Chains A and B, each alone.
Chain A
Amino acid sequence: AQTVTQSQPEMSVQEAETVTLSCTYDTSESDYYLFWYKQPPSRQMILVIRQEAYKQQNATENRFSVNFQKAAKSFSLKISDSQLGDAAMYFCASGEETSGSRLTFGEGTQLTVNP
């Protein structure tokens, strides 16, 4: 069974600055995927970034990047040049290849962006 832990219930950042959201996970599988989803006040879940565990290179999507530390089972999300529209709940999730792409989600981190 997988577990995903987000230890920061709330974070805040000044507009244009950088913030890092933490996530740790536990899995017994060797082949798995990791994701960050964003949930704005509309509550629509939006895929932000994904990482394949077998790839050593950290994934990047525009202002969003991850720091994937496989040995430490850590998967943090860095948001650069934060914008007001980045304010949302962010969820870390893991999925195992052998489980039909079922995802296990963390409890989320509420990000506030201050103008």
Chain B
Amino acid sequence: SQTIHQWPATLVQPVGSPLSLECTVEGTSNPNLYWYRQAAGRGLQLLFYSVGIGQISSEVPQNLSASRPQDRQFILSSKKLLLSDSGFYLCAWSVGDSQYFGPGTRLTVL
């Protein structure tokens, strides 16, 4: 069966510091991968998606970036965090039309 991992689960970072969130998927090949952000009490905003290694599409221009160095690894990064980057970050995968989500990372920028 397929599983998806995200780490860290919780992160507190100062403004201006770098960020690296990692997502890995097990039990499937060639998945589509997605990064979403969720503000408190709100819906999900798609940030990036990838259909293959090195292929990244950005949905929202901002100071975040994504990379896919391996088939089942998806990384969300920032060189300098802003206060507005605080939120809950969710990674998801799909093979076909349904998406399955990881446990998420709660990021607080102080």
Query: Which A residues have a C-beta under 8 Å from some C-beta of B?
Result: 33, 35, 37, 42-47, 50, 52, 91, 95, 97, 100-108
Contact = CB atoms under 8 A, between A and B. Distances in A.
Contacts of B42: 107-108
Contact of A47 (B41, B43, B99, B104): B99
A95 to B, nearest CB: 6
B51 A100 contact: yes
Given A105-B44, A108-B42, A44 B34 contact: no
Contacts of A33: 97-98
| Majority SS at the chain B contact face | strand
Which among A43, A52, A101, A106 has the greatest number of chain B C-beta atoms within 10 A? Answer: A101
Interface string B71-108: 00000000000000000101010101111111110100
The 10 A-B pairs at the shortest CB distance, nearest first, are namely A45-B101, A105-B43, A33-B97, A105-B44, A107-B43, A101-B94, A44-B103, A43-B104, A101-B97, A101-B32
A16 B90 CA distance: 32
Nearest to A107: B43
A97 B43 contact: no
A114 B54 CA distance: 48
A100 B32 contact: yes
10 contacts: A43-B104, A44-B102, A47-B98, A47-B99, A50-B97, A52-B97, A100-B32, A100-B51, A103-B46, A108-B41
A43 B43 contact: no
A46 B104 CA distance: 12
Contacts of B88: 43
A106 B43 contact: yes
A46 B102 CA distance: 9
